[in-house]
Each structure stands twice: as C-alpha cells, then as structure tokens.
Structure 1
Amino acid sequence: MNTLEAIYQRRSVKAFDPNHKITPEEEKQLLEATIQAPTSFNIQHWRFVILRDPQLRQKIRQEYGNNQAQMTDASLLILFTADVKAWEKNPSRYWQNAPKEVADLLVNWIAPFHEGREWLQRDEAQRSIGMAMQNLMLAAKEMGYDSCPMIGFDIEKVAELVNLPKDYVIGPMVAIGKKIKEPWPKPGQIPLEDLIVENSF
C-alpha cells in the first residue's frame, strides 16, 4: 500500500475484534513511525499514554467515555498528551545530532520564541499531537490495522486517572486494531474549491 492509498482508505472504525493482540514488535513499529512526525524546533512534545490495563479502559469507557466500545475492544489504546513546557526542558537534546553551529543557532531561538506566549506553547503542543496522530493512523493502515481517533471523553476525569502532569495537555485517544464491522459510508468532503483561498481572504 502506498501513502495515497493509506490516506484514502483510512477510516474511523468503531468495532474492533476484542480478542486480537498486537505484538510488542508491531506496537514498537507503530510508535517509531508516529514519532517521525515533525514538530516546531524538533521539540517532540508528545507523550503517549498506553492504556493497557483492561480495568482502566473499562472504567474510562463506562464512566467517562460515553460507552464507546473501541475503548475496550481495540488491540491498542493510546492517549495522546503533550508537554507544554518541553521547550524549556533541556532543549539541547532536541538538536544533539545536528552540526554544532546549527544546534547552537536553533537552541538559542527556542526560548525567545516561546517565553511569555502561553497560548503559543499550548498551540504548538496540540499541533504536534495532531501530526503524530496522523502518522500513527496511516502507519496502522499500512500494517493492515484500522484506527479511530476519539475526543468524546471527559478530559478532566481522564487526566486525573492518568495523573497528568500540570504542565501537560491532553489530546485525543487513538484506538488501533482489527475491524470486525465496516465503517459507515463516507459522509462526503466539502468541495475543494470551497476550501481554497488564493493569497488572501
């Protein structure tokens, strides 16, 4: 499957085989592909909470997740979070393999770009989550799996359950597994000509 095929075939699947297991090797392959996504200044804000405990997943589904079956039935359930303050936590590590002159230049730009701009810090963290999620879902499709991104859960309660650090944000969850039911037909895309603006509104 090529990239375009994966893009067009990726769907949000709601019904997964609860008995299917993803191997540790496949999980690592998926996550390694996920972290190839770009981030501003290579900060890599993402932190992936693998929701592995069946009882925890059941609690989230029943109490805070609108009884979405994929929360318990998918082979893998990942809660995407991001460290909003990652930009100030040992930033030289993000450029450790770059030539020194490049690393020095970029690392010295990180703090002035972020300091005092809390809205930007949060936006960058969420942007990073979004790009990583798409990598995960396309990689899953390439590997013969299906996925479902989900935001229909009580963010505050789930944050408590996973002991989310105070300087982190929560993004969606993504369920990965083997589908047992075809998704609904695509509802349709807005015509491309309605979405494109040339140069200025």
Structure 2
Amino acid sequence: MSQFEEEYEDLVGPTKKELFSQFIPADARSLSILDVGAGTLPNAKYFQDMAVTAVDPNQEMWPYARASAARHGVRSLTLVNGVAESLPFADGSFDRAVCTLVLCSVADVGAAVRELHRVLRPGGKLLFLEHVVAGQERPLLRLSQTLLNPLQRALADGCNLIRDPLKSIRSERFQLEEERYFFIPALGLIGPHVSGIAVR
C-alpha cells in the first residue's frame, strides 16, 4: 500500500468502519463476498474469517492483496483478473459486493453498476464509497474539479473528479438502505464523497 493509500485509509477509516459494521452481519462467515477493483485489498481488515473473491485488472496488485489478506485473517482469497463493467461470474453469485474508489475510474459507470446488480443474489447488498464532484454549496471546488479533470484523468489512471455514481446506483433497481455525502477537507479535489449500502 502506498503512502497516499495509507493516509487515505486513515482519513476515511471511521466512515468505512461504520459502514462495514452495518453491512456484514454476525453470521458473515457463511456469506460469499465480492470486492471489485480490490487493488491491494485495503478492505481486508473488514473481512476477517471470511471467504472473499477480489477482482482487479492489475495483477501486479495481487501479491499486496494476498499479504493484506494474510495479515488481517481473511479465511480464503480468490483473485480474479477482470473489470467492473464485465464481471466474469454467473448471475446471483454473491451475497455481498464491495465497491470502494472504483467508479471514479471505470470506463462506464452504468455498466459497472448493472454488473454489480447482476452478480448479487436477490436481497444481496452492495457497499459503496466513492469520491465525487462537489455539490453546489462548494462552487469554487466544483469549478476546480472541472478544470483539472483532464489532467487528473491523464495522471491518475483515468480517475474522474466530476462523477457522482449515486444516480446510476438508484437507476439500476437498487434500493438505498443508506446514503451519505461527506467531505474530507484534507483531500482537496477528492474531498467530496458519497457512501452507502444498497440492496438488490
């Protein structure tokens, strides 16, 4: 995990901890968990004693993901090469899906959300946490994000500063169990966030 990733996880940690405590029930050991765009698997700390399938297009991240899983007591980890817009799983394969800091950089947000909906069983849940475009209450930040978005995309693997995936999540027949916008000042251009839990 890079220094930025560590600093980011420290800043967003309280929100993640609260979300995951609602998202994962006491009998979670029997659940099938999918982490999309898992990268170095920073969410491993929330998957203790669970079976997790992690999808990422960058196989260079896999050794770090394995190390994170081992460090945090993940019961089993299956690593799969793939992208959010075309998940290589059958319909209804998972009880839970996790998508954190992924929808900012996918090629097609709508397609990614449809795939997440498809691979969840009826009643399955999606946990999401993403940085988003600033709201109207922060016009200067929103303008800065818009102006700097081309540079951000070029330098940060397609990461987009001016998205808000909540509309796509709502439109794909998910029922929002929880949603929250919040702002982390220390993160500057990526300070605005949305998080929540959606039910298929």
Place the TM-score, normalised by the shorter chain, in its bin. under 0.3
Return the structure number with greater helix share. Answer: 1
Which protein, 1 or 2, shows the higher relative CO under an 8 Å CA cutoff with sep ≥ 6? 1
TM-score, with length taken from structure 1? 0.28
Structure number with bigger Rg: 1
